[in-house]
Structure 1
Amino acid sequence: MGEAGKGAVMETSIDHLLVEKLSDPRTMEQLIHLLDKLENVTFLLDMLENFLQRGPEFADSINELVVLLRQSISRPEYVTRFENALTALHKMQEFLDSPQVQELIKSDVLDVRSVQVIGKVSRSLYQASKEAAETGTKRVGIIGLMRTLSDPEVQPALNFVLNFARNLSKEISDA
């Protein structure tokens, strides 16, 4: 009976400690937070379980890759390719670290708006070149030029060129 009595007293004290711990406001707050995240925790545990179940499959794949790499390294053409790739990466890093590229990155040349304008200009240049090749060289006199300058399709480009000239002049004088 002594052993049974000890078990009952021990169980009562554990129950009392558990109730006391659960009554603590910090513990209640943490439990509520945990319950709010329970769905995420369950999802994470499911993913971890699936990952661990596939462990042997991952190990086999890694082992096959190591065997394949060992076989490939012994071939001289792969060693040469690897050395060439490393040399290319080193040269690319030197290029990217150069002061010229760093200055280019700081400038507005790579700004999205600049790239869009350059794209429009290059498409226009290509189209104009194509049309000039198709129609051949036409002589335009002063009256034809004046008529073209008042053409509504030419006006936006003319305004662009004039604004560009004005802003370029400001940039040059500021430099």
Structure 2
Amino acid sequence: MTEIRIGAVAEAPIDQLLVEKLSDPQTIEHLVRLLDKLENVTFFLDMLENFLRRGPEIADSINDVVVMMRQSLSKPEYVARLEQALAAVRRMQEFLDSPQVQELFKSDVLDVRAVQLVGKVSRSMIQASTEASQTGAKRIGLLGLMRALTEPELQPALNFVLHFARNLSKELGDA
């Protein structure tokens, strides 16, 4: 067996130290965890080795980008575009920070149901406008209006209008 000597003091044989260290439960646990992750460790080391091998190439690429940026920024049109973009971003931020927009975000206007309803109303208005322009202006009297009110396809819209009127009156009364 090999013995380790430091100065005049004799140490325990190295194999005995190794056996003691390897028999320690904490060392065993660490070794098992390391062996479980050995594939990841070798993959990481391979990536690191490839990265270090390509270091000069990466540095050259970064240098080329810096040179290109310096050349671009020396042209007045690029500087003007950059300034315009920054001014636009500032204006958008001012707009978003305005009390009106903040109040809009707090309101129910942007509620999904409200947006869907506005979409339905918009599509209905466009379709009604198209149909009215194709058929021409018809004169509808009181009896014609009363007859139209009984049509089944108008009932959901009439029901909506009545509920809307009631709720709007409540909102306006509370205002």
Is this a same-fold pair by TM over 0.5?
yes
Q: Does 1:45 align with 2:49?
A: no
Quote the offset at 1:8 in angstroms: 7.6
Quote the offset at 1:9 in angstroms: 1.9
The DSSP-based 3-state class of the residue aligned with 1:71 is: helix
Structure 2, unpaired ranges of 5+: 5-10
Distance 1:19 1:130, change over 3 A: same
Quote the offset at 1:22 in angstroms: 3.6
The DSSP-based 3-state class of the residue aligned with 1:154 is: helix
Residues 133-148 of structure 1: matches in 2 within 5 Å? 133-148=133-148
Distance 1:57 1:12, change over 3 A: same
Taking structure 2 as the reference length, the TM-score comes to: 0.78
The DSSP-based 3-state class of the residue aligned with 1:140 is: coil
What is the RMSD computed on CA atoms of the aligned residues? 3.3
Structure 1, unpaired ranges of 5+: none
The 1-side partners of 2:3 and 2:34 are apart by: 38
Distance 1:41 1:77, change over 3 A: same
Q: How many residues are aligned here? A: 168
Match of 2:172 in 1: 172
- Asked if the contact 2:21/2:27 (under 8 Å) is kept, the reply is no
The 2-side partners of 1:155 and 1:45 are apart by: 69
Please identify which structure carries the higher helix content: 1
Higher relative contact order (CA 8 A, sep 6+): 2
Q: Does 1:120 align with 2:156?
A: no
Aligned to 1:9, which of 8, 13, 17? 13
The 2-side partners of 1:174 and 1:82 are apart by: 49
Quote the offset at 1:141 in angstroms: 0.9
Quote the offset at 1:18 in angstroms: 2.4
Distance 1:106 1:13, change over 3 A: same
Match of 2:107 in 1: 107
